[in-house]
Amino acid sequence: MKHITIKDVAKKLNCSVSTISRAFNDKYDIRKETREHILATAKEMGYSPNPIAKSLLKQCSNQIGVVIPEFINAFFPEVIIGIQEVLIKKGYQVLIMQSNESHITELENVKTLENNMVDGMIISLSLGTKNVDYYKYLISRGFPLVLFNRVSNELETSKVLFDDYKWAFFATEHLIYQGYVKIVHFSGPSGLVISQNRKNGFLDALRKHKIPFDESSIIETGFMISDGEREMEKLINENNLPEAILAVNDPTAIGAMKTLKKHGYKVPYDVALVGFTETKLAELIDPPLTSVAQPTHEIGKTAARLLLEQIESNGIFVPQTVILNGRLNIRESSMKLK
């Protein structure tokens, strides 16, 4: 399992390593025939320059690291497709690591990537991440970093965001316009900015339309189907069904729907549902789920572009925050049907 190195090629061709190097880098003067001969022999021998050594020398790697919390839900994979689309064209390789919603794993991933000398990172913070000191440190050293979706207000770096407040507001208004009054929000983990924004959008919509609410109108939950199931189960047991629910994302909405169905309740007749961060599931389930669609692909592409700008800027760089637009796809689950 020995790597073929530049030396092997040099030895075989009876020339110096620098000549080989020059042939590959095509920058300095070198006789055309020599070059072609070298390239041919090298190819035949299965040689290609070792990027590890190159990274060590150049202190950069043409690699970009991506760290995401999970990829069970379709959101992150779709963002990554967008990221890759932009970066691969520019000659970068994309290394993906997942933190599994753990702060510790996330930090290890970041350090691994840093040690691999990636030229920059695109990150979405894990649920467990409260402490962002290491990111502050990276930013202070000028390390190119772009955050998306799960960001921290403490970090001054480029960000790609979705206007969670606005779309939660619209989604809630949609329920209000349908005539629902007793509306509950399944909110995400309170530590996350996206959860807070969606919650505030929800509350402000209620306020605007003078819909009464109290602390029981907000039920904090997670991001998974099981979280929606659990909370719905509780509501059913307490015999305290709302008329409508705005869920923090599709999986929790779907969990709620499953549980409602299991107990014989009909969506939207007994309880109307709206999801968020639409996935393919939304239009496939029965009834089809009203949901806020995020431009996942575009989020990825934008994040990649912001990162490239920073990498190419050589230090004189002002972080930008890009807020992307979405849409509310209205389907049967939230309609007022009798």
Q: Which is nearer to DNA, 2 or 89 (CB)?
A: 2
User: What distance separates the 2 farthest-apart alpha carbons in the chain?
Assistant: 87
Residue 289 Cβ vs a second copy, minimum distance, rounded to whole Å? 10
- The residue behind tokens 């309170």 is 190
Query: 29 or 215, CB closer to DNA?
Result: 29
User: Which residues are near a second copy by CB under 8 A?
Assistant: 1, 3, 46, 48, 50-53, 55-56, 59, 63, 71-72, 74, 77-78, 80-81, 84, 88, 93-98, 100, 105, 108-109, 111-112, 115-117, 137, 141-143, 225, 254, 258, 280-281, 284-286
305 DSSP 8-state letter: H
If contact means CB under 5 to 8 A according to the sort of partner, which of a second copy, DNA, none does residue 19 touch? DNA
Angle among Cα 233, 234, 240 to the nearest 5 degrees reads 105
6/47 Cα distance (integer angstroms)? 7
Q: Which of 3, 11, 262, 280 binds DNA (CB under 7 A)?
A: 3
255 in Cβ contact with 289 (< 8 Å): no
Q: 31 contacts which partner out of a second copy, DNA, none, CB within 5 to 8 A by kind? A: DNA
Shortest separation between residue 93's beta carbon and DNA, angstroms? 16
Let me know: does 16 contact 10? Beta carbons within 8 Å.
yes
284 binds DNA (CB under 7 A): no
Which class for 289: exposed (0-12), middle (13-18), buried (19 or more C-beta within 10 A)?
A: buried
Contact status: 5 vs DNA (CB under 7 A): yes
Judged by CB under 7 A, the chain residues 6 through 25 that form the site for DNA are: 6-7, 14-22, 24-25
Query: Smallest gap, in angstroms, from Cβ of residue 67 to a second copy?
Result: 11
Inter-residue contact 96 to 39 (CB < 8 Å): no
Contact between residue 178 and residue 272 where contact means Cβ atoms under 8 Å apart: yes
Angle between helices 6-13 and 32-45 (to 10 degrees): 120
Q: CA–CA separation, 162 vs 323, rounded Å?
A: 5
* 40 touches DNA by CB under 7 A: no
124 binding DNA? (CB under 7 A): no
Q: Which stretch binds DNA (CB under 7 A): 3-11, 72-80, 175-183, 266-274?
A: 3-11
Where do contacts with DNA occur on this chain (CB under 7 A)?
2-3, 5-7, 14-22, 24-25, 27-31, 34, 47-50, 53-54, 56-59
